[in-house]
Amino acid sequence: MTVIRPMIRKDRAAAALGLQVAVDEPGRAVVSMRVRGDMLNGFAITHGGLVFALADTAFAIACNEDEHVTVAAGADITFLKSTRAGQTLTATAVRRVVSGRTGLYDVTVTDETGDVVAEFRGRSLTTNRTFEEDAGD
């Protein structure tokens, strides 16, 4: 059973998108999203910003490895396959390296058949703040 940390339990954007966390571990996360009709762009395919949001959420979970708040310093995404309403996308984030306060994480987004939909690379920065200090925000 995966224990979901307070950071993601308080994430209102993830809740609004209906994101489901399957794995919440230091350096690794798996998050899924069922594509709804209101997530489609004008071409009736999943809006790229929502695919990015899914990958970014998995990245955030994976890089927040301790009590210190870790934020994105930057991220890039490559879209490889379009998806449609009714499909389920899964983002798997893994730590590649952490050096000092910075880290590098890769996230692969797949559809329900296992086809790769997107590849995301996030760069993290660990702050001096702790989650407890930010809990009231």
Please say whether the beta carbons of 125 and 70 come within 8 A: yes
Query: Hey, where are the domains in the chain?
Result: 6-131
Give ∠ CA 70-49-2 in degrees, rounded to 5. Answer: 50
pLDDT bracket for residue 2 (50, 70, 90): low
The CATH H-level superfamily of 6-131 is Hotdog Thioesterase (3.10.129.10)
**Model pLDDT for residues 15-45, shown as the tens digit of each residue:** 999 999 999 999 999 999 999 999 999 999 9
What's the pLDDT tens digit per position in 41-78?
999 999 999 999 999 999 999 999 888 999 999 999 99
* pTM confidence score: 0.92
Residue 122: CA count within 13 A, CB half-sphere? 30
